[in-house]
Each structure stands twice: as structure tokens, then as C-alpha cells.
Structure 1
């Protein structure tokens, strides 16, 4: 069934890549990663932090309102990206639009600080609860933008941002809104969060180097790697959705798909990623698979995660695979924000008509214009989302 078209009229982000389309695209074109060393339990590990320009954007934002100094980074990142997206879309305070910005972890840093203070003093600060609830991301974005539409925040692990896109599309197609601001934000670079990932034995281990990890510590899309290499990154991304075909659209949402599979383990999906097969098939129900030029994979850099998604793609596309890429080798896994950053990557490749692959993966040659890109995301629980974009 053909659905009413959805236009993406702006997309904006703040991440280790920067906070402007020009800076972000320039970073994508070089073959250097954005990881820096971080010491945890007297051992070195890797993280991907905001670049210095983006840190200044956040500092300026905090200085713009005295109330903002009490907010978590996940909220501030979302606010910074949302300001830019709204400006780029030409939306004003007179426009009524919904907001759905989610997060996998939410106010991790602030929650941990409040809890540590409670352990020391036996008292909780007045604002410790309202500033650490997940819903405060969208509510503070609404406050900052002075919007008057519905506000939603949710957490569906690492596919959160793409679930926000699904939700925005549903509101628009249901006629309940004409415009929606959707995305995800994550600030997970805390010792406790990193320790949790290391406990799962999926984090890249700088203290147990294989030779190939020296240059590229996250081996996303290396299907022959012998150890897990996930690395955490931070950032936020949002896009402006509008119902109908707009003159200022950057891209169109041509198809959406979603699926959940029965859990075999808390962190795993099936050997051939049944959830991804279903979500991709749904997203492509009105499109021949041969029309897809590029797939931006979820590919977190884990052995099973990368391989099972690849097998799912083979099941759907057969021997004629589209060009395959991911950005996690460069900026790490930004949890709930990762899907929207992948959408931004897809839009940039379509705008510049240039495929950007993974430097250590098998070389792939672009032979035709990039007109349609499929984006995948999945999280703990096997909750896959696929979004098909077109120019």
C-alpha cells in the first residue's frame, strides 16, 4: 500500500564529527577515526568525545540560560542539535510541531553524580528527579524552542532514534500533526556505562591489542575479526519531518520497517538476524531491492552483531548486494542516537553522490548515482528498524 510521502526538511547533529554539514562531511572523507584514550580502573580504553567546536557550542548553550547548567549532557546535546535543525527547516515559534527525542541511557552522567552524592550525604538534591527522567529531553527541547506541540521521549535501546522516526511518521500520516522533530541523544561516556559494556565483553580492548586494532580500534564491518571491538561515542541528532513533498526537502522517507524477534539471550539476535530480515523486507515492500544503492549498517563492531546483520542482508538482497558501510568504525556506537547519525550519513552521501566506505573493509566501487539508501538499527532485545530514504 502506497503511503503519503514524508519530507525531511532538515537534519542536524552534534557529535565527534562536528556540528555543521561541511565539517561532518569533511570528517567522513578522511580515514582517521575520532577515538581518544580513556583510563578506567587504571587501564586504558577508547571513547569518542565531541570535538572542540561542538564542546564550545554546548558551553554557549549552557551560558544562554542559567537553568541549563543543571541539565545532563544528553539534554544539552539534543537542544543544540534541535536549535540548528529548526533554523535550517525554517520553522518558527508560530509553527505547531511535535517532538520525539529519545535516548537509550538518558541522563547517565547526572544520575550517577546525584547518586554518588546521595551515598555520601544521605540526601538527594531537589532537582535530582526531574533532571534525570527520560522525558526531560523532549520537554527541555520544547522549552528551548518555545514549541506548543506534543512532547515524547522513549527508550528502545540502540534503535531509539529510528523508532522516533517511525513514531513521527505515524503521527504525520495519521493526520495528528503536520510537522515533527525526531531523533536521539546520548551522553554515555561515564565510567559505569563503559564498565557495563566491558562486563559484556563486547568493548574494544586496548590492553589486548591484535595488530589490526592499532590503527583502527573499532573493526565495524570487518567480518573476519577475532575479538569484539565496540567503542562508545556521544552525540545527538534530530531531523525535521513534514507531511507531503516539500520544496526544501533534503530527502524523502520512502519506506519504514520494524520487527522484534524472540530473545535467545539478553544481548543477542538470531544467527541470521531474523528481525533485520523482517524490518528490511517491510521497508522495501514498495521498492525493488535492486533500486537500493547503499545500506548504512548498524554494525557496532562486535563479532556476532556485524556478521548476523550481514547474513540478513544476504538473505534479502541475494548475490546483488548494495554498497555497504557504517560510521561506527569512526565515531563509535552512540547508542540511542546512532540511527539518526546514520540517517545523516546517508543524506550526505546522496547529496554529494559519493559513497564513503570503511577503509579496512573490502573495497567497493560506486557504479551509479546514489539515489536510495537503506539505514538499519537494532538494540538489546532484537528490536530492529529499517528506514529507506530517497532523493
Structure 2
């Protein structure tokens, strides 16, 4: 593939809000520091590990609620997405040709639970209930905030939502129906009800040490998922420009037949197909590194590793993940992984996962990184990000 051709897809900006921070320099410092961002959250049913936004970010969101009329009624997930999108550099962008697809696995979780509790207690709800909890709420409000006039789409493909948004962005850009596209995910699912759902699946971490999410600790005997909250978005363009930070050179997606609603096959057939498709698209046989989905569950981590070994054989790329630092942020998780990939390319530095020892060293120049995501229903997305060499 000629990456400087008009068909190239540029990542011209990528921003996020998570327990790692909200500014690129602070997020990169957090990755280099390698200190997990987990805390104990005390709730009615007990206390559990979670990954929460910092007090500074929460203050910013509180200020955002007062910024414009109607923002005080919005769910936290929507406010997070608005703030993440505001952090993108979009000067000079044609708003009439700017598309937006910011998805969410669970949507306006906090407001849903609040309004339903009110309904149970009082038998009625606020008139804001329907418009502020609809699934399309995130993208439409981001468009309103930015003044974008292009297509606005929202969807849920559970934990692969953000990378599916990138696929949508690629399709719109390559069709010529958009000149720029904001893609990503937002999740504010730290509620007792959501936590109870993960516990019902027996996925949640019971570890007591400071690294409770053992993502990529392949010898573990019990699940160690930890929930986090985050919003992350990327600005995509159909060609290389002075804004280009990295290039999307390959993409693949696949769905496999499942036998359980929350699992994939032992060798993750969906990942094998998506990774092979991405390599073919990029005209590559291998990549330098892979940012794994690796949610910290026993079967999930092992299945993805088996798929990688099947595709790449004994010559494994460098493998890492970020959930051991920030937990599983559902719809936003894939975009946080993409952000890590871009940062590693920009700094030519590989961020190690302490639970996994790679068998080879970083090449002299990190050129290509694959990013994986998978969601309930056996759907997988793999993207290949290439270093931009102006």
C-alpha cells in the first residue's frame, strides 16, 4: 500500500479522558511510570477495585455542565465525550463535511438508573428521561457542541465499539461522503448495577494486590477484570496533512459463531480472521507490536494469545496491553489502545506489560503496531497503525 496516496487514512488527532489523565504528556508519563490507576470503591454491596477519573477531570466536567443550556441534564458519558472532542485540534475543518461516530457499550447508564429509581418510587419520570438516555445521545451532543453538520452515528458493539467507529469513519472517508471523521467511545459505567452484572458473569477481580487487573498474566487461574470509566476519540482524515500523527494502514473485522454470550472460541477464530484481514489490507506479513484487548479474564486473554500464535507462528510481535493500568473501559477501551499505539510510534518506545515477558527486543525503529478489540457476540476488530514519516 502506498501510504502517501489519496486513499491513506490519517490519524490527525487522538485524545482521551481516563484515570491516566486527559492531556497527552500526562498520559504518556503515566504509561512510562507504570503505576496502576486503581482505587477501592465503596458501595452498598461492599468494596471493589475500579479505575476512576481524577478529581481534576471531574471538576472540568462539573464546569462543563454549566457551560451551555441543557448540559446540566446530560449523562456523564456524554459530557466526557464532549470534553474529549473539544481537546482535538479541528481548526480549519469543514464542519459541513465532518462526520461523528462515538459509541457506547451501555449508554447513559447513570441516568438510566437514576430515572428508573425515580419511576419506581414516584411512578413518573422527568421529561428529560427519553432525550437524555437515547443511544444516539453522545454523537448528537458532540456534534451540537462542535457545530458539526455532517453525519452523526452512534452504536454499541460492546467492547469493540470504538474500533467499529473507526471502521465506519474509514468507510465514510473513502466513499467521499466526509472530509473528516471523529470516531471513538465513551463509557461511564461505574454504577453498582453494572458492577453486579460483571460479578454475575464471574469476571470481576478479587485480587488484593496493587495490580488487581492481571491482563496478559496467562497463567492466572481466576478472572481479574476491573471496570474503568473513560472517553476517547480520534480525528481521521482521508489523506496525509500537516496534522497527521500516524497512519491507518490496515483494518480487519470478523464475527464467529459463539456458544456463550460473553465468550469467544478457545482459539478466537474472530481474532484470527480480523488480524489476517488487517495484514492483507496493509500488505504486511507481520507487525512490530500488538496492543492486545486482553481484558484480564482467563479465557479471554488465553484465546487472544492463541489466535496471535496461530497467525504469527513462532515469530511473535512484541505484545502488550494497557488494562493492567487502567482497567476495562468497555466502549472506550479500543480507542485507549489505539492512543497507546500512536504514542509508542511517536516516541519510538514500547510500553511493557509487567505480567508478560516478551522474547525479543524493540526494533531500532518502531514502525507498525496492531490494535485488537473484541466484544460480546464474538465480534473482533484489528487495526494496523503505521508511523508517519513526513
- 1:168 & 1:389 partners in 2: Cα distance? 15
- 1:102 & 1:44 partners in 2: Cα distance? 29
Q: Counterpart of 1:63?
A: 66
CA shift for structure 1 position 248: 1.8
CA shift for structure 1 position 66: 3.5
- 2:347 & 2:134 partners in 1: Cα distance? 39
Q: 2:27 aligns with which of 24, 29, 39?
A: 24
For these two proteins, the number of residue pairs brought into alignment is 383
Q: 2:310 aligns with which of 312, 315, 318?
A: 315
Residue 52 (1) aligns with residue 55 (2) = yes
**Paired residues of 2:95 and 2:150 also in contact (CA < 8 A):** no
Q: Secondary structure at the match of 2:62?
A: helix
Q: Which string of whole-angstrom CA distances, capped at 9 and with x for unpartnered residues, describes residues 55-95 of structure 1?
A: 1221221121131110001100100000111xx24345755
CA change 1:289–1:344 in 2 (3 A) is same
- 1:57 & 1:91 partners in 2: Cα distance? 26
Residue 145 (1) aligns with residue 127 (2) = no
CA shift for structure 1 position 342: 0.5
Q: Counterpart of 1:249?
A: 244
Q: How does the TM-score come out when normalised to structure 1?
A: 0.95
Q: Counterpart of 1:333?
A: 328
Q: Secondary structure at the match of 1:264?
A: coil
Q: Which string of whole-angstrom CA distances, capped at 9 and with x for unpartnered residues, describes residues 291-313 of structure 1?
A: 41110000000000000000000
Which moves more between the two structures, 310-319 or 3-12?
A: 3-12
CA change 1:31–1:371 in 2 (3 A) is same
CA shift for structure 1 position 226: 1.0
Q: Secondary structure at the match of 2:13?
A: strand
Calculate the aligned-residue CA RMSD, in Å: 1.5
Structure 1: state its 5+ residue gaps.
none
List aligned pairs for 1:307-386, cutoff 5 A: 307-363=302-358, 365-386=361-382
**Paired residues of 1:93 and 1:145 also in contact (CA < 8 A):** no
Residue 203 (1) aligns with residue 204 (2) = yes
Residue 114 (1) aligns with residue 115 (2) = yes
CA change 1:123–1:286 in 2 (3 A) is closer
Q: Counterpart of 2:36?
A: 33
**Paired residues of 1:268 and 1:382 also in contact (CA < 8 A):** yes
Q: Counterpart of 1:262?
A: 257
- 1:72 & 1:325 partners in 2: Cα distance? 32
**Paired residues of 2:216 and 2:353 also in contact (CA < 8 A):** yes
**Paired residues of 2:95 and 2:147 also in contact (CA < 8 A):** no
Q: Counterpart of 2:230?
A: 235
- 2:30 & 2:171 partners in 1: Cα distance? 33
- 2:176 & 2:94 partners in 1: Cα distance? 21
Which moves more between the two structures, 359-368 or 40-49?
A: 359-368
List aligned pairs for 1:140-179, cutoff 5 A: 140-179=141-180
Residue 84 (1) aligns with residue 80 (2) = no
**Paired residues of 1:218 and 1:229 also in contact (CA < 8 A):** yes
